[in-house]
Amino acid sequence: MQLYFLCTGNSARSQMAEGFAKQYAPKDWQIKSAGIEQHGLNPLAVAVMQESNIDISMQTSDLIDLAYLNSSDYVITLCGDARDKCPIAPAAVKRRHWPLLDPARPYDSADEELAMFRLTRDKIERLVNELIQNIR
């Protein structure tokens, strides 16, 4: 099984999804994330994942790899930008879309930003677990 999580900048949402999938999916599954652009790994994404005992600090912000995309079993977009701009994949590739708000958008306070990252992390964890259960 090959999963590909896509987002705009591959900095937070898709990185968290990759981290959860690597934690919960069978070890023989191939799991990657990428973006339409490379924005670097968001430090708050790393921090909130660490709160869930998942270390994503060594993951990298990558551009979409067409070969991996075309050979994936599932491609999951985590934002409308990625869904709209994702290259066309073969019909055999199953697509899912999770319309999640960007937790890295501007906030009135650091506490509000951290709360949004935690909320997004928790939604992604539920969605990843549901995906894995449905595939199995």
Q: What is the pLDDT at residue 87?
A: 77
| CATH number, domain containing residue 114 | 3.40.50.2300
Quote the mean pLDDT of the chain.
94
pTM, to two decimals: 0.94
- Between residues 16 and 101, which one has the greater pLDDT? 16
Distances (CA, A) of 58 to 6, 15, 55, 62, 106: 18, 11, 8, 12, 25
Instruction: Report the chain's terminal Cα–Cα distance, integer Å.
Output: 10
Q: Which residues are catalytic?
A: 7, 79, 86
Q: What is the pLDDT averaged over residues 25-47?
A: 96
CA gap 83, 27 in Å, rounded? 27
Q: Tens digit of pLDDT for each residue in 74-128?
A: 999 998 877 787 777 888 999 999 999 899 888 889 999 999 999 999 999 999 9
Asked if 136 contacts 128 with a C-beta cutoff of 8 angstroms, the reply is no
Q: What is the pLDDT at residue 75?
A: 96
User: Tokens at residue 1, please?
Assistant: 């099984």
Q: How many domains does the chain have?
A: 1
- Whether 61 has a pLDDT exceeding 80, the answer reads yes
User: Tokens at residue 99, please?
Assistant: 């319309």
Domain with 91 in it: 2-135
Asked if 85 contacts 36 with a C-beta cutoff of 8 angstroms, the reply is yes
Q: What is the pLDDT at residue 79?
A: 86
Indicate the SS3 state at residue 2. strand
Instruction: Give Dmax (Cα) for the chain.
Output: 44
% of the chain with per-residue pLDDT over 90 = 84
